[in-house]
Amino acid sequence: MPVTGAMRFLSGIQPSGTPHLGNYFGAIHQHVQASRSLGGGDSAFFFIADYHALTTTHDATKLRQQVRDVAATYVALGLDVEQAVLFRQSDVPEVTELTWLLASVTGMGLLERAHSYKDKVSNNIKPSVGLFTYPILMAADIVAYDSDVVPVGGDQVQHVEMAQDMVTHFNSTFSVEALKRPEWHLSPTPKVPGTDGQKMSKSYNNAIGIFVEGKEQKKQVNAIVTDSREPAEAKEPDSVNAYGVLSLFLTREERVEWEDRLRAGGVGYGDLKKALMEKMDARFGEARAVYRDLMTTPAGEERLEAILARGAARARPVAQATLWRCLEAVGMPNTRHRLQP
Ligand code: ADP
Ligand code: TRP
């Protein structure tokens, strides 16, 4: 579906580790572009899903650090925080109340079908109740902000479909139109390969960080698995792991050129890795310095906190309005304003 400025575009990002090139090409880059092209009017919302991260991260220092890391990454990469609304999920606690309202009308069967839950359990993550009800919290995130379009990677499509079911069910159970039905929008780069050729992921130990530099960058890029073919040998581009990562940085013309050279023979793996590091430096060099400052200085931390606080102040009234509509619908009229001291 074409995304236009008249719609609200919302996405959540879990703070679960330092963002890598898979996150960049699969999600962050599109978010940054959307923040610049959709225009103002609060049409793009991005939040750092710390309530969700709590289902797997039980270390306060680590969680705080990872939230800062995601915020710093988005700001350093140029998210337009004037146009887009960037906030921390837990700064809008109404979303947890909405989760309960949705949970009360959601069947166990729906949640039991969630692939992501089954995958996590099979990867030995201890299944808490929170992990099981994760899709309801995600649905609450989506509906709280009257979202029209939710850009996601393939693994999250089912969760948005579950949110659609919850919206239909809530509205029909209470005979209201309190919640808006969202649509998912699949990222145009569904799978960035990692150093081993599998999907890049921080859980597979095959990731290349966005902002790595110097020795660390060399180490991560050199970890890209190669075979014993000599530079002189002709190679099909698809069969070359390092090219899979490099090609993401290339323009159409550069791709044609590299692919012709690979097919002709004469390109070694070292050449591809060197070109990749140069492309990373050119694309992320300036952002790296901003990122470093945001991550390591008190002024950087203050700047991020101010951005997140402003984002929450813009997001919260939207979630409150949704919650109040829902409370009214279920028979819990919002009397809180009268209960305030
Ligand atoms: P990870 O697999 O490292 O834990 P997440 O699941 O936290 O990454 O993903 C965050 C975002 O980045 C999601 O939108 C996801 O679709 C996207 N993403 C993660 N890895 C990749 C990849 N290898 N290729 C494309 N997109 C990716
Ligand atoms: N579950 C998503 C992920 O792991 C993060 C997320 C939480 C999200 N709430 C959301 C994404 C709402 C889109 C909309 O990537």
pLDDT tens for 172-214 read: 999 999 999 999 998 887 689 999 999 999 888 999 999 999 9
| pLDDT per residue as tens digits for the range 224-267 | 999 999 999 999 999 999 999 999 999 999 999 999 999 999 99
- Contact, 143 vs 322, CB < 8 A? yes
Per annotation, catalytic residue among 199, 218, 274, 279: 199
- Give the list of residues 6+ apart from residue 137 with CB closer than 8 angstroms, or none: 51, 52, 95, 96, 99, 130
Q: Mutation test of ligand 2: which of 9, 30, 47, 52 has the most ligand atoms closer than 8 Å to its C-beta?
A: 52
Residue to substitute in 85, 95, 159 for testing ligand 2 pocket (most ligand atoms within 8 angstroms of CB): 159
308 lines ligand 2 (CB under 6 A): no
Question: Of 13, 4, 19, whose CA–CA distance to 202 is shortest?
Answer: 19
The residue among 340 and 296 whose pLDDT is bigger is 296
Strands 183-186 and 44-48: unpaired
Confidence band (pLDDT; 50, 70, 90) for 1? very low
Alpha-carbon gap, residue 315 to 89, rounded angstroms: 10
Give the whole-angstrom CA distance, residue 301 versus residue 171.
Answer: 42
Q: Could you confirm whether 235 is annotated as catalytic? A: no
Distance 26 CA to ligand 1 centre (A): 6
Q: What pLDDT does residue 154 have?
A: 84
φ/ψ of 186, rounded to 5, equals -80, 135
Asked if pLDDT for residue 4 goes beyond 90, the answer is no
- Closest ligand to the CA of 49: 2
The string of pLDDT tens digits covering residues 53-67 is 999 899 999 999 999
CA 132/CA 141 separation, integer angstroms: 16
Give the 3-state secondary structure of residue 5.
coil
274 is catalytic: no
* CA 242 to centroid of ligand 1, rounded, Å: 19
Cα separation, 51 vs 338, in Å, equals 29
pLDDT digits (tens, 9 = 90+) for 121-150: 898 888 899 999 999 999 999 999 999 999
Token pair of 103, please?
């949970």
pTM equals 0.94
- Residue whose CA lies nearest to ligand 2 atom number 6: 12
* Opening angle at CA 214, ends 209 and 215, nearest 5: 90
Domains of the chain: 9-191+298-338 (3.40.50.620), 202-295 (1.10.240.10)
Distance 228 CA to ligand 1 centre (A): 30
For 50, the token pair is 């710390």
Q: Which residues is 46 bridged to in the sheet?
A: 11, 86
**How buried is 274 (Cβ within 10 angstroms: 0-12 exposed, 13-18 middle, 19+ buried)?**
middle
Answer whether 12 contacts ligand 2 (Cβ < 6 A): yes
